[in-house]
Amino acid sequence: MDVDPDESLFDEGISLIKAGKIEESIDIFSELVERDKRNHKAWNAYGVALSQTTHKESAIHCFENALAVDPGNKIYLRNLSRVKTPPARKIPPKMRDLVKNKRGRGNFVTAAIFILVLFIIGSLALLLVSGMVPGFSLFKEGPDTFAEELGANIPVTPALIQNSSTAPPEPEEQIIPAIITPLPPAKAEVLFHFIDVSQGDAALIQSEGKNLLIDAGPSSSGQRLVDYLKRQNITSLDLVVASHSYEDHIGGMIDILDAFDVKTYVDNGVEDSSDVYQKVIASVISDQAVRKIVTAGMNIPFTTNTKIDVVGPYRLTGHPDTDSLVLRVSVHNVTVLFPGDSSEVKGKTTILKIPDHGSDNAVSPIMDTRPEAVIISLASGNPYGYPRSATLGAIEKQGSQIFRTDLNGTIVISTDGENWTAKTSR
């Protein structure tokens, strides 16, 4: 009897959960529900895995999907209830005994000690004021004692020593120079510019003095893109990547190739009969830029702290959207995913550039990558009704921050590889 491959994959995902490999199990269950939206067992397991992370809203969404296929399932209902209202933390019996102790006898003992301490302090204060304790005075000569404890260097003035004429001079205190430990050098920041090019995509990455441009927007925004890059003091581009051959991604390439020295041009190698594609390739050849064709499994050399992996496509389908280059750019622990217009993306990422300008095709990538923030590049009042409500709903379920070029203008993400910040400008 043949073994169901989905069942084997499901069992592998369950084993990963038991082994504590939550992220790996999430990838498996994400793949299973993508294959079959009615696989309620996979939806439930997907929710269980997500409930072990900070993505509680996504877990709720998974349990709701499981119940939509198998209504009334007691296990799914219980899991949904648990993730919505986590059980209250119980105090162990021994801890309860300690709490009772502190409220009872412990309070009496504490009060008695407090009264005794107050009595001793009061007595000492009286003796000090009256001068009955030799060698001590509330009005000590010399620099302020608290300031000394804080390391302050307070000069001694006549006003401070006017009552010390009869006191023997104190030996000069030896000053021991402080040992200054040099701070570690600040980590170099990498900048991701998601540039407002109307209804199209264009992103600039700057790392260690090098510049990489991914897509160039439509031809109508070509000069606007050139002007933006020049304001960043850019005169040459180390790499230019075309995710695919649609005009809203490569239309501005001709202006870019004319205005800047492009060293390497990267694409998926798929030929296109469109005029804009033919002109771009002709311009690459005339500029004598190196053309590099890449596919999934390869990496694109850039800088020492910025790694670029090609994670798609694994195979060409003949559809430009699906055949888009998918790039994962990693700066230590921060990853930014550039899928072109492909919806075939998986794996946790920090920031996701939404594919296809916020169409319904973006829902699965959002659910499968669980980003902290998303970027949507689109024009205000575009005729397609983007971003679609389903896409916005998926973003809300993930709890991701959302940035849109139609509302925010150009978005610049800055990261040191551990944390990231965003600023916008129109």
Residues 61, 202, single domain; the answer is no
Question: What mean pLDDT comes out for the span 70-82?
Answer: 89
Domain residues for 60? 5-84
> Residue 234 falls within a domain, yes or no?
yes
pTM for the whole thing? 0.62
What integer pLDDT is reported at residue 49 of this predicted model?
A: 87
Residue 103, domain member (yes or no): no
- Under a CB-based contact definition with an 8 Å cutoff, are residues 326 and 339 in contact? yes
Q: Do 79 and 196 fall within a single domain?
A: no
Q: Cα separation of 235 and 256, whole Å?
A: 11
- Of 133-137, 264-268, 383-387, minimum mean pLDDT range: 133-137
Total of domains in the chain: 2
Q: Strand pairing partners for 331?
A: 334
pLDDT, tens only, 186-210? 567 999 999 999 999 999 999 999 9
pLDDT of 297 above 60: yes
Inside any domain, residue 116: no
Q: Hunting for tokens 């973006």 — which residue is that?
A: 362
Query: Would you say residue 128 lies in a domain?
Result: no
Same domain, 198 and 343: yes
Q: What is the CATH number of the domain that holds 65?
A: 1.25.40.10
Contact yes or no for 157/143 (Cβ under 8 A): no
Q: CATH number of the domain that 365 lies in? A: 3.60.15.10
Q: Is residue 160 part of a domain?
A: no
Residues 251-275, mean pLDDT to the nearest whole number: 95
Q: Are residues 77 and 206 in the same domain?
A: no
* Mean predicted lDDT score pLDDT of the chain: 82
Work out the average pLDDT over 110-121: 69
Q: Any idea which of 5-19, 143-157, 193-207 has the lowest mean pLDDT? A: 143-157
Q: The tokens 């003091």 sit on which residue?
A: 233
- Residue 36 pLDDT exceeds 80: yes
> Is the backbone peptide bond immediately before 218 cis, with ω within 30 degrees of 0?
no
Q: Would the pLDDT of 63 be above 60?
A: yes
The residue that leads in pLDDT, 401 or 159, is 401
Task: Indicate whether 165 pLDDT > 60.
Answer: no
Q: What is the pLDDT of residue 35?
A: 82
Same-domain check for residues 60 and 198: no
pLDDT at 52: 85
66 assigned to some structural domain: yes
d(CA 59, CA 50) in angstroms, rounded, equals 5
Instruction: Give the pLDDT of residue 150.
Output: 36
What mean pLDDT do residues 45-74 have?
87
Share of the chain above pLDDT 70, in %: 77
Per-residue confidence band for 275, with pLDDT thresholds at 50, 70 and 90: very high
Mean pLDDT of 128-152: 42
Does 239 share its domain with 368?
yes
Question: Is the model's pLDDT at 384 over the cut of 60?
Answer: yes
Last residue of a domain, one of 36, 67, 84: 84
Per-residue confidence (pLDDT) for residue 183, from 0 to 100? 53
Last-in-domain residue among 54, 84, 114? 84
| Domain co-membership, 74 together with 201 | no
In a domain, residue 377? The reply is yes
**Cα three-residue angle 313-292-188, rounded to 5 degrees:** 85
Give me the pLDDT at residue 25, please: 86
Comparing 159 with 378, the larger pLDDT belongs to 378
User: Per-residue pLDDT for 160 more than 70?
Assistant: no
182 falls within a domain: no
Residue at a domain's end among 21, 53, 84: 84
Higher pLDDT, 4 or 346: 346
pLDDT tens readout for residues 212-225: 999 999 999 999 99
> Tell me, what's the pLDDT at 100?
42
